[in-house]
Structure 1
């Protein structure tokens, strides 16, 4: 199993990940992970970005993982919350870039703590 810390941002860093949108996004991302045999070890959002610590098999490749998370979640969130298209000027939901870092046994707890405190750290 491989461990990755992944982060990506809302297009234009618009602060839309709040309230029901945030709740729905977390459920959607967890479902996408499950459908793709990816284990979510930690998941938290700021108002304009997502942090995940995931575990997956070696056959998973990062670009495919990110396409699944970003593409599917955007489609599903736009269906559940059509008002988001107006807030994002009809644009894509996610910025095209993302951050990925491998996580070792030595840093796993440190990364979990960092992700768990995203809401607190960004208030």
Structure 2
């Protein structure tokens, strides 16, 4: 079992992001060897940057990723690193990713923060502080 919190020399945190991004034109390119290699590349990049993949699912035309990161790494930076590195390597290794689309990924992505405590609980906790 992994700990709920992570600590650094300045903070205690539990930050998770649900990230989704799609292939260009939603082309179903992420199958077979490309899917396997993409999972490996995403895992390698996350380990290199100190991020932890909680769950990952690669669909033929998009990626779902639940990743835990530190407070200094913005969601935009995480997506930029993952999409950039994976696109460069996959396009070099698999000609299908070069011939079917001008770029592997769309420019956009979806991000939602994921936490252990609901927004309602946090709001109630903050509002109750004056009452103590």
TM-score normalized by the length of structure 2: 0.76
Matching residue within 63, 84, 92 for 1:50: 63
Counterpart pick for 1:10 among 13, 19, 23? 23
CA contact (8 A) 2:23 2:62 kept: yes
Q: What is aligned with 2:32?
A: 19
2:105 maps to what in 1?
A: 94
Match of 2:76 in 1: 63
Alignment length (residue pairs): 105
Q: Secondary structure at the match of 1:94?
A: coil
The structural deviation recorded for 1:82 is 2.2
**Alpha-carbon deviations, 1:94-117, whole Å to 9, x = none?**
01000000112258xxxxxxxxxx
Unmatched 5+ stretches in structure 1: 108-123
Structure 2 unpaired stretches of 5+: 1-13, 119-132
SS at match of 2:46: helix
**How much is the aligned-residue C-alpha RMSD, in angstroms?**
1.2
TM-score by length of structure 1 reads 0.82
The structure with the largest alpha-carbon Rg is 2
